[in-house]
Structures are given as C-alpha cells and as structure tokens.
Amino acid sequence: MALNSDPPRAAASRDGHSPPPDTSSSLWWRWALVIGVPAALSAVFVWCGGWFSSRLTAPRIVDAFEATTSAHPGFRRNHAKGICVTGHFDSNGAGLVASRASVFEPGRYTVVGRLSFPGSDPAQDDRHGMVRSFALRIALPHGEEWRLAMNSAPIFAVRTPQALFEQLKASARDPKTGRPDPAKMDAFVAQHPEVQAFHRWVDAHPPSSRYGNARYYGISAFKTVDVQGAAHFVRWDVVPDSPYRPVDDAAQRDPDFLEHELVTQLANGPLRWHLMLNVALPGDPTDDSTRQWVDTPQRERIDAGTLVVDRAQTQIDGPCRDLTFDPTVLPDGIAPSSDPLLAARSSTYRVSSERRLQEEASARQGGS
C-alpha cells in the first residue's frame, strides 16, 4: 500500500456550504499558512536511509508531519483530497536531444495521474488550496516507467531535510488552540530566510481557477544522458493549453469546485499540457529547490510532447488509489541530481506505507 493511496472508505461528509472566510487572521497566522503549504508539499520528499544522523529518522519525520493536523487514518499523509485522471503522453521525439530515455522516443505512452492540493484533511474546502499539484505515472516499454510529482509553485520553501523537520515542528498544532504556536513559527522564519522566496512567489501568483489551467513544475533538477552519451541537467514543467485564470470568489463558494470544474471540462473534451525540458546553463543551481533558474532566451527549452488527460475518476476506487508518485522512479537516461530533497525520499514512504497498512488492517479487523 502506497503512502499516497486512498482508503477503502468514502470521504468525509459535507453540508455543501463553505464557511465564511476568516477575516481576523493575524500576520503570524498568514505565515503559518504560507509555511505550512510547502511543509506539506515537501513532507513526502524525505528519505532518511543513509542521509540523516541517528537523531533524525524517517519515523520522526512522519511523526512531525502528523503533528501538524488531526488524524485521518487510511488517507494520504499529504494531498489527502484529490482526483484520479488517466490519459496518455504523445512524445514527438524532440526530448532525445537532452535524454535517451525511452519516454522521449516518438510514440504514445499510457498515463495514470492524480490532481490534488496540499493538506491532510480529505474534507477540506478547495478554497484553502494555495498550490495545485499534478502527479503522473507514465508506463514505458520494457517494464520501465516515469513518475513525476509536480506543483504549481516552481520552488520549495526549504532546501534540506533538516530544515523541513524544523519547519514541521514549527507548524505543529498547539493542543490548546489547535493552531501553530506563532513564536515557534517566527523563530523558524528568522532562522530560515530562504522561505521568503516562496512567500513572495505565492503572493504574486494567485491559485489557478481550475486544475486544468495551471502550469506545473518538477522543481528539482535531474541529470540526463542523451543518445550521444553527453550529460545534462534539466528541470521540467508542463504548460497547459488552457489559459491561466486566477480563482474567483464565486467559484470558491463550492467546497469541491476544483473537482467539479475538472469533470465539467473533460465532458467537453480532453485537457492538454506541453512537457517542456529546460536545460541548465553554466552556474544554474542543480542541488537547491529553493532557487529558480533565470528565465532567459539563452536557455534551451525543448517541447518534448503533449500530455493528454481525457478521463477523471474518484480517488476512492480510481486507478491512482494505490500509486506512490515517487519522482525518483525514473527510466534509463534520467537520474536524480544531488538535490537533498530528492535524495531524501524512499524511507519515509516506507514508514508511511507501513502505518497505512496497519491502519487499514485495524479497520478491517474492527469491522469483522
């Protein structure tokens, strides 16, 4: 059972109405939200096998993440609310300039994916989603596959697993208030000025009105080897054919507007994104997910093909239910960079999966 799988039970019930927005939030609470989002985004990118000291382990990371919210046994530890999608990737062959990976050979490859937003409450209102997320598994010849985990923000707030752990601790709920302690959050921000970049980006880029008109970024750099044996570093993103439009107040009255809009769009035809490969220039950071690469005409930007989504299914029993979208699952020709958040993955997935298995086993025993 994967960390990102959904439980064999229905999502929490709703009354169909969103509560009125909280207009009394103080500055520290805004910081709690802004910092909490990348914490949720990054929490599943933590791997402790051989990287951390004996003090920082995968179970401690999972414990810290779970302390930021109430318990939702059997649901994903992050991105608890989402929807499965299926479709295909039409590769045009242009990506072979950067990588010999089979996914860039001309052809059509089956895709299973999931659209979601960060958070551990499967019943939370969509209006709380400050960032959209798109995860994919592309099935390839000879048993290979490519798994991508992308967000609508091009950077993370923290660079290292240790910083992530501190971020999660600062985001932990106070048992008395049910909210983070503002003093802890202030101290974390003071110690980690790099989070300011994410804060500025979120301020300048309102969430998209739909899943289907958002641009999604792979964020971390990856090392590729082309057909001539030459090595490169790339970052990728997928650019929608549908023009971006920011979310409006009217749409947010529906607590599930993202899913409803997606289903409506697909009823009128498939959604498409172009998979773009951005090739590193000298001096570009390849080990720091808090820093964007400069947008410049000198950068080689390759349109490698079209991602097509033509169907959506519920996460309860859809094809994405048991998938773990681990971005270090890669075909030959693509490899992780030295970005510590990429190197920090598998052990936490394993711990979280074990906990999910235990939760589901306990639920079955309780119902027998």
The CATH number of whichever domain residue 90 belongs to comes to 2.40.180.10
Question: Does any domain span residue 19?
Answer: no
Residue 164's SS3 state is helix
Residue 46 identity (one-letter amino acid): V
- Under 8 Å between Cβ of 202 and 130: yes
Whether 11 maps to a domain, the answer reads no
User: What does the pLDDT read at residue 12?
Assistant: 37
Q: Using the CB atoms, write b or e for 17-52: b if 16+ within 10 Å.
A: ebeeeeeeeeebeebbebbbbbbbbbbbbbbbeebb
Instruction: Find all residues with CB under 8 Å of 214, minimum gap 6, and list them.
Output: 132, 134, 152, 207, 208, 240, 244
CA distance 83 to 142: 28
Domain that holds residue 177: 27-367
What proportions of the chain, in percent to the nearest 5, are helix, strand and coil? Answer: 30, 20, 50
Inter-helix orientation angle 58-66/27-43, to 10°: 140
Cβ neighbours, 10 Å, residue 251: 16
Nearest-CA neighbor of 137 among 164, 110, 102?
Answer: 110
Long-range contacts for 24-29 (Cβ within 8 Å, ≥24 apart)?
26/182, 28/182, 28/185, 28/186, 29/179, 29/182
CB 94 within 8 A of CB 136: no
CA 98 and chain centroid, separation: 24
Radius of gyration of the chain (CA): 20
What pLDDT shows up at residue 368? 60
Query: Quick check: is 136 in a domain?
Result: yes
Give the residue carrying structure tokens 């994410």. 198
pLDDT in tens, the chain (368 residues): 333 333 333 333 333 344 444 444 444 444 444 445 444 444 444 444 444 444 677 788 778 778 877 888 878 878 889 999 999 999 999 999 999 999 999 999 999 999 999 988 888 999 999 999 999 999 999 999 999 999 999 999 999 888 888 988 998 888 888 888 999 999 999 999 999 999 999 999 999 999 999 999 999 999 999 999 999 999 999 999 999 999 998 889 999 999 999 999 999 999 999 999 999 999 999 999 999 999 999 999 999 999 999 999 999 889 998 888 888 999 999 999 999 888 776 677 677 777 877 887 888 887 66
263 inside domain: yes
Question: Is 314 a domain residue?
Answer: yes
| 8 Å CB contact between 121 and 82 | no
Q: How many domains does the chain have?
A: 1
Q: Where do runs of H (alpha helix) occur along 151-287?
A: 161-170, 182-191, 195-204, 257-267
CB atoms within 10 A of CB 249: 8
Dist CA 261 CA 211 (whole Å):
8
In a domain, 304, yes or no: yes
Residue 20 lies in a domain: no
Q: Which two tokens stand for residue 166?
A: 């501190």
Cα separation, 339 vs 307, in Å, equals 26
CB-CB contact of 180 with 30 (8 Å): no
For residue 1, being part of any structural domain is answered with no
> Around 12, how many Cα atoms within 13 Å sit in the side-chain half-sphere?
16
pTM to 2 decimal places: 0.84
Q: Residue 50, by phi and psi: left (phi above 0), alpha (psi -120 to 50) or beta?
A: left
